[in-house]
Chain A
Amino acid sequence: MFDNLSERLNIVFKKLRGHGTLTEANVQEALKEVRMALLEADVNFRVAKEFIDSVKVKAMGSEVMQSLTPGQQIIKIVRDELASLMGGVLSPIDTSARPPIPIMLVGLQGSGKTTTAGKLARYLKSKGKRPYLVPADVHRPAAILQLKRLGEQLSIDVFDSNAGDDPLKICQEAFRAADRGGYDYVILDTAGRLHIDEELMTELSAIKGSISPSEILFVADSMIGQDAVNVAKAFDERVGLTGVILTKLDGDARGGVALSVKAVTGKPIKFIGVGEKLDAFEPFHPDRMASRILGMGDVLTLIEKAHETFDQKKAEELGQKLKKDSFTLDDFKDQIQQMRKMGSFGDILGMIPGLGKLKGIKEMAPDEKDIKRIEAIINSMTRVERRDPAVLNGNRRLRIAKGSGTTVQDVNQLVKRHAEARKMMKMFTSGGMKGLKRGMPMFR
């Protein structure tokens, strides 16, 4: 996420930290580079200027300049200002209105509205709510069917609309149905257009007038950059937005929309889409995002993710096993599968403080193919072999390689990896973090 921006800023800050004392000229120079980095990341020109001005005012204070670590202080100021630029704190969606609470999704074609509708519904369901999905895009072929399919996959009810229906009527009827059915949220998936056109705006205004949604969220493709901010502004003027959902943040978008949309439109980003799977969707925390951009990691999100996906019982079992030093290859496979549920390894590594900064670390992360290979190898082993890899002699390794369609080298590598993991886990349980740090080459 925003790799280029992160890299650029880190170079600036590295220089800054190198100075024992800071002069005004040092700071001016650094801020000029920060400004360039922001502009290159496609941040709105005016927003970048105001940002730099406000950092400058705070950084030039005598407390900062005379402190023992002026460089660190300035980085902290930049982090805080970045966070406040993006809205400061989390903007949750409306939960106080009388249910069913209508949420309307609007946006251009191809921004990801229908997928986002599914993801949002899944998110609400995971929070114990009952969402109701309403396909109101009668223009794009099979858009309605797409949402119905998503509903099936997620076991979430979907209003039965047809492509021949009038979108306004669909929304009205669906809302009444949701009211009768005792649903908590009604998510309206509306049609997109190539650009802002009169016909679409009239359609959206009519739906808004009739249903009066608690939330009107603008779904924006983060790769579009500044244009998305301008379009958001236009939508806001015509239909009035309550927030923004940014999609496709897992690509190489430069970050301009994320950093400018709040400042330009005054509407906060409420959620972000970070992958193509339906659970790749998170509430947007500006403060955490600011830390991530500066390569400081995002431990809070990592912990939350772990909490959501890790099976408590399995974790306890693992703890027991570690104490008894019986971490088998089966457990190894389990661990990998649990990690996988949290998202891609690249994403997870980016959230660990310090690791995001190491260039190329993302390429080091095993990809899905590697993981599949590991699973295949372990599946080709007998129970005895899984429990005690020590019995693996040359013959057995050859058989496993053949059985899993891999090579003996692959099998050897896996056995080695497992032994290393086991050693590390042992250190973790006996010596705590200190032991772990010593064991991991990256921290040396």
Chain B
Amino acid sequence: MAEEKKGLFQRLKEGLSKTHKGLVDKVDQAILGRKKIDEGLYDELEEILVTSDLGVQTSYKLIERVRERLRRGESDDAALVKKYLKEEILSILKGTGSGIDTRRAKPFVIMVVGVNGVGKTTTIGKLASRYRGEGRSVLLSAGDTFRAAAVEQLEVWGERSGCGVIKHKEGSDPSAVLFDALKAAQGRGTDILIADTAGRLHTKTNLMEELKKTRRVVEREAPGAPHEVLLVLDATTGQNAVSQAKLFKEAVEITGIVLTKLDGTAKGGVVISIVDELKIPVKFIGIGEGVEDLRPFEPSEFVEALF
């Protein structure tokens, strides 16, 4: 067990290596040349944080906090900067609870939304496999009725994980698919229903309206549902992810974020920015192609692996 745990941590560390290089290594370099702390160091830190996609606002806040603590401690040991930075990042991330308790309702309804090409269907496939592995019964709703063969893509994942898939024809009303899936899940006594939706750019008002309608249908048919509305974000988009999260939050009250493709980018810092600016918890992160690479987000483990 301990061995396995270490293995997982190692994978996380490897997945975050690009972000580590862009953020922590640079902080080290900035500190290395200096014995004492001066304004130049703060400026340099700010640049490092902003270029790692932490966003201007969050970077500024972090630096102010570090500065404040150093002043209080009346220390000018540059090495403390890194320690404080790490602690402050953790305190931002810890501010939001994570994890999903799927046992609080039955069927537990998870709606998955996001822009095109972020990995919604793949995320659903991996989530389904995870829950099936825990012995739960899972039903998938093929709500992407727009893109060609999106339904079949979900069906492949359904087969792999051994879950049923409720589908309609391509081009049909996505709300109707979810309505049927909900009825089926209620009738069969399924534990978890995961609803796929078509990818949509967050700036398209009419498509966001369609999504709102889908959510309303769920609310009406199953009081308390959807229990989770997860927004899937592609970590490589950096700060644009913040804009996506904001607009999706306004439209469908997302309850959590799944951040995919973290291993492909040096922009992993965007996690911190999203949590800080929008106060939306990160529920899962994707650090590789394997099913086990989509994992619950643990703030302390994440920060430990990053630094």
Contact = CB atoms under 8 A, between A and B. Distances in A.
Interface of A: 108-112, 115, 118, 140-143, 145-150, 153, 194-195, 221, 223-225, 227, 248, 250-254, 276, 367-369
A108 B147 CA distance: 19
B149 A142 contact: yes
Given A149-B148, A224-B237, A369 B267 contact: no
Interface stretch (B26-34, B176-184, B200-208): B200-208
A110 B148 contact: no
B173 interface: no
Contacts of B240: 223-225, 251-254
Residues of B contacting A: mostly: loop
B148 A251 contact: no
A314 to B, nearest CB: 26
B209 interface: yes
B238 interface: yes
Given A150-B148, A225-B237, A225-B238, A276 B264 contact: no
Given A146-B148, A369-B209, A276 B153 contact: no
Contacts of B234: 110, 224
B233 to A, nearest CB: 11
B156, B237, B289: residue with the most chain A Cβ atoms closer than 10 Å: B237
Contact of B202 (A108, A225, A251): A251
A250 B267 CA distance: 23
B93 interface: no
| Size class of the contact patch on chain B | 35 or more
Interface in B146-162: 146-150, 152-153, 155-157
Contact of B157 (A109, A141, A147, A276): A141
Nearest to B149: A146
Interface of B: 115-119, 125, 146-150, 152-153, 155-157, 170, 200-206, 209, 234, 236-240, 243, 261, 263-267, 288-289
A23 B240 CA distance: 38
Given A146-B152, A250-B201, 20 more contacts: A109-B117, A109-B261, A110-B261, A112-B117, A146-B148, A146-B150, A147-B148, A148-B149, A149-B148, A149-B170, A194-B263, A195-B263, A221-B237, A224-B236, A225-B237, A227-B236, A251-B201, A251-B202, A252-B201, A253-B240
8 shortest interchain CB distances as A-B pairs: A110-B117, A141-B156, A146-B149, A149-B148, A142-B153, A142-B152, A195-B264, A145-B149
A110 B116 contact: yes
Contacts of B236: 108, 224, 227
15 contacts: A109-B117, A109-B119, A110-B234, A115-B147, A142-B149, A142-B156, A149-B148, A149-B149, A194-B289, A225-B239, A227-B238, A248-B201, A251-B202, A252-B202, A368-B206
Given A110-B116, A140-B153, A224-B236, A252 B147 contact: no
A250 B156 contact: no
Contacts of B267: 227
B237 A369 contact: no
A227 B267 CA distance: 9
Contact of B147 (A146, A251, A253): A146
Nearest to B288: A194
Nearest to A113: B117
Given A146-B147, A194-B264, A252 B243 contact: yes
B128 to A, nearest CB: 13
Nearest to A139: B289
